[in-house]
Amino acid sequence: MAVNYLYPEYEVVRNYDRCIVCRVCERQCANEVHQYLADANKMVCDDSKCVNCHRCVALCPTRALKIVKTDNTYKENANWSNKTINEIYRQAESGGVLLSSMGNPEDFPVYFDKILINASQVTNPSIDPLREPMETKVFLGSKPKSIERDENGKLKNNLSPHLTLSMPVMFSAMSYGSISYNAHESLARAAEELGIFYNTGEGGLHEDFYRYGKNTIVQVASGRFGVHPDYLRSSAAIEIKMGQGAKPGIGGHLPGTKIVGDISRTRMIPEGTDAISPAPHHDIYSIEDLRQLVYSLKEATNYEKPVIVKIAAVHNVAAIASGIARSGADIIAIDGFRGGTGAAPTRIRDNVGIPIELALASVDKRLRDEGIRETVSLVVGGSIRSSADVVKAVALGADCVYIATAALLALGCHLCRSCHSGKCNWGIATQVPKLVKRLNPDIGYKRLVNLMKAWQHEIKEMMGGMGINSIESLKGNRLMLRGVGLNEKELEILGIKHAGE
């Protein structure tokens, strides 16, 4: 049926003067875009299969390939975009929910890009991080309400379990299953070398990775996949996942085709069965139930691990966070609406949730107004794209940030947003052995370390410019921020002044 035909959004352009018919593109493309015509000794391609992942572009030895946005278009219409029209055709054909991957790509305001950072001039010296110590070490966890002394007057260590990080960045939850073994190994090794943490997501922990336990946050989510006593005990912290920024209010679904071999064993479910995480935890229908799960996990681990509760940034996030802070959680993680995912219904991803900048500002303020900010640490993600975003998030009030999309980019992801297809040409979001082995963990972990070292250096430079030599003094220091092009209400919620004020 002709109406079913959708012209490809991107076109593969081959420069035949440069193409040497080496067939690398053909071998590299799991989507089978490229094909060799033996009779003509010529490469041809089917644009309709292309996801624009740039694997062929990056590996073409003669730079003969490029991907361009097509200029084929319907009659222009500000209300009915090409994308909207195509989605209607697809749904009319399939009757199904549209699926997407990675974070919300739509044109909503990015508040981080409308916030500027201060620097010292005259009245206060800037500090050169190459000459003076510049500290980025942070602790995550609940602070004791009062100090205690022993009979000799010495301070007692009455700290509750906490995490110590060399810099305020952690790798956010991505399950083994949604990403590959080699991607997990890269994250784990990088976290260990950097003195930070990575997060198992809801996929259990592969037995090979127990040795990275002291840098591992294990997740307990609504499907409880892979949760058992050794899993909990192996970790540095336990995260209860209540929600995810990319798809607030709904659960997860890893198709049976990906539940193979080790993944089946790690998740503790039979091979080939779909791994369905329900939308809510069916033992948590209210805040008092959450408290029971927090303490169940603490009991199970002898009160030795901090417990993180992760929620999606939704409209009433400040009140929800306040409830969580009183439920025994040591750390609250908030995931903004731009956070990534391996698969989510498109309409949910693009229309549900709120920006992390606003959620963070209002949660931090609410917890301070209630005098309970020190009983929890705040970790924010979704999406933190650069060291400048880290600095802005900390100045708004975060103790630490979560990154995942940025980490995947470091591993080679080109944000083609096709993770749900399972055919990731970069060996990240796939379980196909020949694709997985394209990601070399020896190189992958090093690239993650490089990225974090670069960010750390930039964070230090920005702190030095502000005359701040310890990240603690940046936390919640909103006077170091100014807004540009924001209205009164936005400034009020962010708790910052406008540039020039």
- Which residues would be at the binding site for another protein (CB under 8 A)? 120, 123-125, 127, 132-133, 135, 137, 139, 143-144, 146-147, 154-155, 157, 159, 162, 368, 371, 373-374, 466-470, 472-480
Cβ 135 to another protein shortest distance, Å? 6
Q: Indicate the residue among 12 and 496 with the shorter CB distance to another protein.
A: 496
Cβ 60 to another protein shortest distance, Å? 48
Give the list of residues 6+ apart from residue 445 with CB closer than 8 angstroms, or none.
185, 186, 187, 189, 190, 193
Cβ 132 to another protein shortest distance, Å? 6
Whether the Cβ atoms of residue 189 and residue 216 lie closer than 8 Å to each other: no
- CA dist., res. 312 & res. 306, Å (int): 20
Cβ 395 to another protein shortest distance, Å? 8
Token output for 54: 């740039």
Whether the Cβ atoms of residue 222 and residue 277 lie closer than 8 Å to each other: yes
DSSP string, 174-242: --BTTB-HHHHHHHHHHHHHHT--EE--TT---GGGGGGGGGEEEEE-TT-TT--HHHHHTSSEEEEE-
Q: Of 402, 407, 415, 440, give the one whose Cα is nearest residue 185.
A: 440
- CA dist., res. 284 & res. 346, Å (int): 26
Q: Compute how many other C-beta atoms are within 10 angstroms of the C-beta atom of residue 371.
A: 8
DSSP string, 330-386: SEEEEE-TT---S-EEHHHHHHSS--HHHHHHHHHHHHHHTT-GGGSEEEEES---S
Cis peptide before 100 (omega within 30 of 0): no
Task: Give the orientation angle of helix 287-300 with respect to helix 317-325, to 10 degrees.
Answer: 40
Cβ 126 to another protein shortest distance, Å? 9
Residue with tokens 């974090």: 452
Cβ 125 to another protein shortest distance, Å? 6
Give the list of residues 6+ apart from residue 143 with CB closer than 8 angstroms, or none.
374, 375
Measured on CA atoms in the order 331, 334, 339, 340, is the torsion positive or negative? Answer: positive
For residue 90, the cross-strand partners are none
Q: Indicate the residue among 67 and 466 with the shorter CB distance to another protein.
A: 466
Write the Ramachandran bin of 21: left for phi over 0, alpha for psi from -120 to 50, otherwise beta. Answer: left
Cβ 180 to another protein shortest distance, Å? 36
User: What is the distance, to the nearest Å, from the Cα of residue 162 to the centroid of all Cα atoms in its chain?
Assistant: 22
For residue 138, the cross-strand partners are 165
What distances in angstroms separate CA 108 from CA 23, 312, 353, one per listed residue?
Answer: 41, 17, 12
Whether the Cβ atoms of residue 136 and residue 457 lie closer than 8 Å to each other: no
Whether the Cβ atoms of residue 494 and residue 484 lie closer than 8 Å to each other: no
Q: Indicate the residue among 157 and 286 with the shorter CB distance to another protein.
A: 157
Q: Indicate the residue among 157 and 487 with the shorter CB distance to another protein.
A: 157
- CA dist., res. 455 & res. 459, Å (int): 6
Write the Ramachandran bin of 289: left for phi over 0, alpha for psi from -120 to 50, otherwise beta. Answer: alpha
